[in-house]
Structure 1
Amino acid sequence: MVGDSYTIADMSAWGWLDRASRVRKDADDPLAPFPNLKRLFETVDARPAVARARAVGTGHEFKKINDEETKRALFPSNYPPAA
């Protein structure tokens, strides 16, 4: 992002840039107005590790309901400590 080597900053920026379509919902190409960011995203996105990262969890059935157990895990400060 800033230098000549691939760093954690590039990885972090890629994660945010991957969500550009959610922020600019009506845009066909949400990164088009930002060619340097688009180039960064495409460069990082082409890395083999990105394909492996995108595949993580694809074979796992994630819980989709927001039940009591889920609420306790997400918001433990809203519940008294277990006895």
Structure 2
Amino acid sequence: MHEEHISPGTVEVHGYALRMIREARGRKVADLAAGLGVDRSYIAHLENGSKRRVGAEFYALLLTELQIHDYRALLATAPVRKPRT
């Protein structure tokens, strides 16, 4: 498996969640890419998992562009909530 360089200020994105939310918002890959100022292949790589890490600023833009209010929605390793007792 390809190991990506992990540096401070990066976020690991859950590609399947990205695809599902993008589709639920009625956005095409090319449309989202244009809104973010990146090539559509970059979004495709994120969604299929061949690229998983993005910069923190790009992650914030992605959340804004997809109108996501909970920052955990696209995290590959979202924090687990403790069950209420």
User: Structure with the greater relative contact order (CA < 8 A, sep ≥ 6): 1 or 2?
Assistant: 2
Q: Compare CA radii of gyration and give the structure with the larger one.
A: 1
Question: TM-score when scaled to structure 2?
Answer: 0.28
